[in-house]
Amino acid sequence: MTIIVIVVEASTLFFILNVQKKENQQNAITQTNAITQSLNNDLLNFILNPNADVLSDITFRLSAFKEIRGVILYDGNKKAIFQYGDTKELTKKQLSIFEEETIFIDEHLFVKKDITADNYTLGFELIDVDLSSFKQKEEQITYTILIIFPFALLFGFLISLFLSKNYTRPFIELLDAMRKSDPTNNKITAVSTNANNEIKELYDGFNLQMKQIEKSSKELKFQANHDQLTNIYNRFFMKEELLNALKNDSPNIKGYNYLLINLDQFKLVNDSAGYQAGDELLKMIVTHYQAILPKGTPFGRIDGDTFSVLLKDSNEKFGKKFLEESLKRLHDFRFSYKGETFSVSACISLVFFKPFEFTLKELLKASTTSLYTAKQKGRGKSQIFDPSDEIAKRVSMEIDTAKLIKEALADGPARFELFAQDIVPLQYDTDKISYEILIRMWDKDNNFIPPDSFLPTAERYQLMADIDMHVLWTYLETVSKNKNHIEKLHSAHINLAGSSLNNPDFQAKVKKAIEHFDFPWDKLELEITESSAIGNFNMANEFITWLKEQNIGLALDDFGTGMASFEYLKSLPFDVVKIDGSFVKDMHTDPIDKAVIKYIQEIAQLKGQETVAEYVETKEDVEELKAIGVTYGQGYFLGKPRALRSWLN
């Protein structure tokens, strides 16, 4: 408001002074015209008859006009014949006055007027008019406005206070309440007013909206954390509870007991009496079991017929005692539905743990493994997790191996290294090289870990796509720097897990590699085993089509070991078929194996596909495979796997 008042005052002052200035100038010109017009005849007489009497009359008449500072009279030849008053400024500015005829400079008005008679110009005069009286009027107006200004400013300030109190302040209060309120966490700052206008309606609307958001948030939070059927916690909430327990750094905590409960023969109820009966059974069991739970104990439904309990701040003894009580509570639970009676029991696993003893994945794996062991014992059985158990040991080893894989993928301290094994042409001689890329792993102590020890774990822990991406990228990064090696290369085979074909991250990595590396892509063959090819190929049609457009080859590995092999061989878009080594190994003693190899070769040849025989270990193997017509051989007789770096040297 203060800025508005200042701007309005300044604009008003500027406007009035501008108007006043123009009006003063116009008045001065009008007044000067009147004076020159009244003196015209006397000045004309003096030009025609310059004598002392006429000069005296002119001087006397000019003295009556106080605004006239000076006058210079010129004849027709521009000769000054008369001067009056102070003519210094006129003399300085005469050239400009002759040219422009009217000039305003500070407090001076300079005017040039012609002396005429019967439309003839006989001379002219230059007049210097004093504008100080007009300037005084302007100053008076300015002073008046400046005197009014503080009062206008005060008036604007009072208006601001009024508007702030009646209009602005309510909005500030509302904004402050909005900032302080967090209805999703039950924190609301209500606003109120004594007014009975739109502000009150706005306040009431805000308060109502906050309450509605709070209510909706509670409902959404409840739905997010609870199972819709039983109204107990769901697996997401239980997962958060476990995470909080695992990282609880309280020094006085005794520990936690985690129970995983699975109903026996629940599927029988669903199949016999229907899902509605199964739902009723679950609700009854939850109500029945909740009666023995300690107050505040998280109890949740993990999936269809599996539940979990987290006993907080409890020791192993208490956990075992509660496990026994739970088994009794759920033993031989009778359920009747529409005249049909079912007997339901439950198997339970128990894991006692302390903070930071497990990762969440390890804890869930331990409880699931223990529950599986309990289920193997029969109905209504339990299993307490013991790291010394054989199953637990196997799980622990898998977890350790998974950690090593993740370390190797993250460049240490465990590490991967690429090896390559020769793929040798059997039907012709060439100086070109072909090989299959293999992966090897060492732990931080440089102990070798065989592929058959870590690859199955990678499959179970869904790490194969990451390994495949690592192998592909590392290989391309290594060989792309060696142009001589690429020139000698005929083909490079890289194994893929079936799941990698449908993995979006792997697909993106391949596309990124195409853009990043300068590599002859027609020399790359991606291998996928027969057992994993079928379903994955059907789901990855678009990506496979894209691979073919890039001239990247596809090879079917371990062919002959799967179901309906020859049918798929006819329909799937493979460039190379690798004959499983089990046929090659026994082809000299088993005529059926030899016949299978011949049949595979004939079909592949009809489809224009090349073949690779695996496990070629003797000279006799080579001769026999040559006779059959197999394109390539791969095995220890033809070349053992060796580090990729040795191939580059």
Token duo for residue 328:
């009794």
With 80 as the cut, is the pLDDT of residue 566 above it? Answer: no
CA–CA dist 129, 70 (Å, integer): 7
Torsion 542-544-545-550 (CA) sign: positive
CA–CA dist 349, 355 (Å, integer): 19
Q: Of all residues in the chain, what percent carry a pLDDT higher than 70?
A: 94
The residue assigned the tokens 């065989």 is 450
Assign 648 to helix, strand or coil. helix
Give the tens place of pLDDT for each residue, 156-168: 778 777 766 666 7
The residue assigned the tokens 């039983």 is 230
* pLDDT for res 488: 93
Single out the residue of 105, 122, 103, 107 nearest to residue 50, CA to CA. 122
CA–CA dist 253, 362 (Å, integer): 21
> What is the reported pTM?
0.47
* pLDDT for res 391: 60
Helix (H) or strand (E) holding 586: none
The DSSP annotation for 350-418 comes to EEEE-TTSS-HHHHHHHHHHHHHHHHHH-TT-EEE--TTSHHHHHHHHHHHHHHHHHHHHTT-SSEEEE
* pLDDT for res 494: 93
Which residue type, as a one-letter code, is found at position 602? Answer: E
With 90 as the cut, is the pLDDT of residue 310 above it? Answer: yes
* pLDDT for res 490: 94
The pLDDT-based confidence of 390 (bands split at 50, 70, 90) is low
Torsion 236-240-241-246 (CA) sign: positive
Assign 494 to helix, strand or coil. strand
* pLDDT for res 531: 59
With 60 as the cut, is the pLDDT of residue 565 above it? Answer: no
* pLDDT for res 316: 92
* Spatial CB neighbours of 607, under 8 Å, sequence gap ≥ 6: 569, 570
Burial classification of residue 561, based on how many CB atoms lie within 10 Å of its CB (0-12 exposed, 13-18 middle, 19 or more buried):
middle
Torsion 99-100-104-110 (CA) sign: positive
**Helical H runs in 410-557?**
451-460, 464-479, 483-488, 498-501, 504-516, 530-539, 541-549
Which residue type, as a one-letter code, is found at position 304? Answer: G
With 50 as the cut, is the pLDDT of residue 551 above it? Answer: yes
Give mean pLDDT, residues 176-199: 77
The pLDDT-based confidence of 243 (bands split at 50, 70, 90) is very high
CA–CA dist 260, 346 (Å, integer): 10
* Spatial CB neighbours of 357, under 8 Å, sequence gap ≥ 6: 246
Which comes out higher in pLDDT, residue 105 or 239?
239
CA–CA dist 510, 501 (Å, integer): 10
Average pLDDT, the chain: 84
Token duo for residue 406:
């993740």
Burial 165-201, CB ≥16 within 10 A → b, else e: eeeeebeebbeebeeebebeeeebbebeeeeeeebee
CA–CA dist 555, 612 (Å, integer): 9
With 80 as the cut, is the pLDDT of residue 83 above it? Answer: yes
Q: Of all residues in the chain, what percent carry a pLDDT higher than 90?
A: 29
Helix (H) or strand (E) holding 250: none
DSSP 184: G
With 70 as the cut, is the pLDDT of residue 569 above it? Answer: no
Query: Is the distance from CB of 409 to CB of 465 less than 8 angstroms?
Result: no
Token duo for residue 466:
């990451």
Query: Is the distance from CB of 141 to CB of 20 less than 8 angstroms?
Result: yes
CA–CA dist 183, 167 (Å, integer): 26
Peptide bond into 413 cis (omega under 30): yes
Kindly list the distances between the CA atom of residue 539 and the CA atoms of 176, 226, 526, 542, 545, in Å, as whole numbers in the listed order: 55, 35, 17, 8, 12
* pLDDT for res 438: 94
User: What does DSSP say about strands 102-105 and 642-643: parallel, antiparallel, or unpaired?
Assistant: unpaired
With 90 as the cut, is the pLDDT of residue 630 above it? Answer: yes
User: What does DSSP say about strands 433-442 and 415-422: parallel, antiparallel, or unpaired?
Assistant: antiparallel
CA–CA dist 303, 309 (Å, integer): 13
The residue assigned the tokens 């993740």 is 406
Give the tens place of pLDDT for each residue, 414-445: 999 999 999 999 999 999 999 999 999 998 88
List the helix and strand counts (H, then E) for the chain: 24, 24
* pLDDT for res 468: 92
Which comes out higher in pLDDT, residue 417 or 377?
417
Nearest-Å Rg of the Cα atoms of the chain is 52
Give mean pLDDT, residues 545-565: 76
Q: How far apart are the first and last CA of the chain?
A: 83
Torsion 83-84-88-93 (CA) sign: negative
DSSP 27: H
The pLDDT-based confidence of 102 (bands split at 50, 70, 90) is confident
Give mean pLDDT, residues 475-498: 91
β-bridge partners, 438: 419
Kindly list the distances between the CA atom of residue 564 and the CA atoms of 168, 529, 558, 578, in Å, as whole numbers in the listed order: 81, 14, 14, 16
* pLDDT for res 564: 44
CA–CA dist 209, 201 (Å, integer): 12
The pLDDT-based confidence of 563 (bands split at 50, 70, 90) is very low
DSSP 580: P
With 70 as the cut, is the pLDDT of residue 43 above it? Answer: yes
Query: Is the distance from CB of 254 to CB of 314 less than 8 angstroms?
Result: yes
